[in-house]
């Protein structure tokens, strides 16, 4: 007989919820949670469907956070099976969102159903924060739900984000923090003219090069026990008219810094602009703030999750802050303990995305045992 978590994961994958569409996933989740005593609150902001569900009214508040949206499948001809028709082959569940993160959602729900049945009078509260805008511009999703909760002083104490954190086997890695991310769009102004008359022009490419070289070589920090050193990376440069005999009027560079808890946005902005001014550049710069760094140190949530992984799999999880950003960056600043714990990430966003069925079953047990460790 098929395990409940596999059947539910398939049901979710069937729904073509390409960001920011939810495609009825949250309706299915709502029906499951309502049946075990959760109060459901739908929060629709612009094109994004979000939900906040809660069972209980006391502290501590344990939250499962996740997203129902998936990235587009790409060229359908390259898939071995249709991306929204889940297939099990050699113990692997295939389909868009299998690993990121409909498998996790299914594991959360099945674990919660079982936990509430086994411990109907558990202490504290269990909550779900689900969005359809994690893979998109992340404007109207988790960040706005968190703003709503903060406005009414409704706090989360412990949060598991179901992002695919594992590397080889489920539970081998827990993400207990993330680096901050800040991007800049820099335009250096020059003076356009004919290359044959260099005294009549100001070449913005030549002007920009020394400053960008200096920025790329700065030792921003040394990192710390949880984070590697901060990195400045140029991601795109553009200039020119297309002609070989015209000095361009401007030069544009895009860059990003992934930074540790040793730095903050203000320090980065001040340093970058100081370098540009020292090189006497005429510039405009537009900053985009993608998320602040956060870390969850050993404590109730991390200790409980580590113990659950050991109890279920016998593994000792490695703690990591590597990778990109997640919606955990919106929840952690409220004071919540936040970790990411989910299946293996080897095929996320790829053609033929898949997840091990055994891993989903183990993940369900890990989530269940974490609930027991915190709320019993």
Catalytic residues: 69, 134
Total Cβ atoms within 10 A of residue 168: 8
- In order of 98, 136, 272, the CA distances from 132 in angstroms are 16, 8, 35
129 bridge partner residues = 52, 65
CA–CA separation, 61 and 129 (whole Å): 12
For 46, phi then psi, to 5°, come to 55, -115
CA–CA separation, 103 and 96 (whole Å): 10
CA–CA separation, 202 and 193 (whole Å): 8
52 bridge partner residues = 41, 129
For 300, phi then psi, to 5°, come to -55, -50
Structure tokens at 176: 């207990």
For 295, phi then psi, to 5°, come to -140, 140
Residues 6+ apart with CB under 8 A from 138: 327
CA–CA separation, 260 and 257 (whole Å): 10
């Amino acid at each position: 007989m098929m395990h409940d978590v596999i059947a539910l994961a398939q049901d979710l994958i069937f729904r073509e919820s390409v960001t920011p569409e939810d495609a009825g996933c949250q309706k299915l989740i709502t029906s499951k949670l309502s049946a075990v005593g959760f109060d459901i609150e739908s929060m629709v902001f612009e094109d994004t469907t979000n939900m906040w569900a809660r069972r209980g009214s006391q502290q501590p508040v344990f939250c499962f956070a996740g997203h129902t949206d998936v990235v587009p499948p790409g060229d359908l001809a390259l898939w071995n099976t249709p991306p929204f028709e889940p297939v099990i082959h050699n113990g692997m569940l295939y389909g868009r969102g299998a690993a990121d993160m409909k498998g996790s959602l299914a594991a959360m729900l099945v674990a919660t159903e079982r936990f509430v049945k086994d411990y109907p009078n558990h202490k504290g509260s269990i909550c779900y924060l689900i969005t359809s805008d994690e893979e998109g511009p992340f404007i109207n999703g988790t960040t706005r739900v968190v703003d709503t909760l903060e406005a009414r002083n409704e706090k989360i104490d412990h949060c598991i984000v179901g992002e695919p954190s594992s590397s080889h086997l489920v539970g081998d890695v827990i993400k207990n923090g993330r680096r901050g991310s800040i991007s800049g769009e820099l335009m250096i102004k020059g003076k356009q003219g004919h290359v044959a008359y260099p005294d009549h022009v100001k070449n913005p490419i030549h002007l920009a090069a020394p400053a960008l070289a200096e920025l790329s070589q700065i030792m921003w920090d040394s990192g710390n026990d949880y984070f590697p050193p901060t990195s400045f990376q140029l991601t795109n440069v553009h200039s020119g008219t297309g002609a070989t005999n015209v000095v361009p009027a401007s030069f544009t560079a895009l860059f990003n810094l992934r930074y540790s808890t040793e730095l903050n946005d203000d320090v980065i902005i001040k340093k970058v602009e100081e370098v540009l001014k020292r090189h006497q550049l005429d510039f405009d710069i537009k900053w985009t703030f993608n998320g602040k760094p956060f870390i969850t140190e050993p404590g109730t949530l991390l200790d409980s999750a580590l113990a659950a992984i050991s109890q279920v799999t016998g593994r000792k999880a490695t703690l990591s802050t590597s990778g990109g950003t997640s919606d955990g960056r919106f929840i952690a600043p409220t004071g919540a303990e936040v970790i990411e714990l989910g299946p293996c990430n080897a095929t996320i966003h790829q053609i033929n995305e898949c997840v091990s069925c055994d891993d989903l079953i183990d993940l369900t047990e890990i989530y269940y045992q974490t609930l027991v460790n915190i709320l019993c």
